[in-house]
């Protein structure tokens, strides 16, 4: 199914993926009593942050992410993916790591779990990273920087 006016969009797959992410976060919330925030869980797994989440639990969640990707690939075949070159990936990763620690979360913790709870911190955080993300792409496009290989 396509979306009128946007030939490249895949709204049904997007919605389906979103529902799966919502169910995943629901299991985390109602089953375990926690936020499914990937940056926080990654910091916990690597010992960077101290939290009451057991290390083994943090690793189980993180290992699940690529396993889930494999399940989708196994069912629907190879997925599209074009990545930035190594230099851009390294710079972006570094900035994402610093930003998510200072900002206490990323797209999952703030964008999905916090926004749905109407947390003021998450609403402000999400509006902020959306705005700077949009601005970054706009500036890079205006400068003619082709990032993806």
Partner 1 sequence: MIARQLSILVSGVLFGAGLTLGGMTDPARVRGFLNLFGEWDPTLAFVMGGAVLVMAVAWWFQSRLIQPLFAEGFSLPARRDLTPKLIGGSALFGIGWGVAGLCPGPGIAALVIEPVSAAIFVVAMIAGMFLTSLVERSV
Minimum gap (Å) between residue 9 Cβ and partner 1:
5
87-116 positions binding partner 1, by CB under 8 A: 88-104, 106-108, 110-116
- Is 55 a binding residue for partner 1 by CB under 8 A? The answer is no
Residue 42 tokens, joined = 């990654």
- Is 67 a binding residue for partner 1 by CB under 8 A? The answer is yes
- Is 69 a binding residue for partner 1 by CB under 8 A? The answer is yes
Task: Please identify which residue in 55, 141, 143, 144 interacts with partner 1, judged by CB under 8 A.
Answer: 141
- Is 2 a binding residue for partner 1 by CB under 8 A? The answer is no
**Exposed, middle or buried by CB within 10 Å (0-12, 13-18, 19+), for 14?**
exposed
List the one residue out of 35, 47, 61 whose CA is nearest residue 113: 35
| C-beta of residue 131 within 8 angstroms of C-beta of residue 123 | no
Minimum gap (Å) between residue 64 Cβ and partner 1:
2
In whole angstroms, give the CA distance from residue 8 to residue 31.
37
């Amino acid at each position: 199914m396509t979306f009128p006016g946007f030939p490249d969009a895949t709204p049904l797959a997007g919605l389906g993926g979103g529902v799966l992410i919502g169910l995943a976060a629901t299991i985390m919330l109602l089953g375990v009593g926690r936020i499914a925030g990937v940056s926080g869980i990654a910091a916990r797994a690597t010992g960077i942050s101290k939290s009451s989440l057991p290390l083994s639990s943090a690793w189980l969640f993180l290992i699940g992410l690529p396993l889930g990707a494999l399940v989708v690939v196994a069912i629907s075949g190879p997925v599209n993916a074009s990545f930035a070159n190594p230099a851009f990936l390294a710079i972006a990763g570094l900035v994402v790591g610093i930003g998510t620690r200072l900002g206490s979360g990323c797209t999952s913790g703030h964008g999905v779990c916090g926004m749905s709870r109407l947390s003021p911190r998450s609403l402000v955080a999400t509006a902020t990273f959306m705005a700077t993300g949009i601005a970054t792409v706009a500036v890079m496009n205006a400068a003619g920087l082709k990032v993806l290989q």
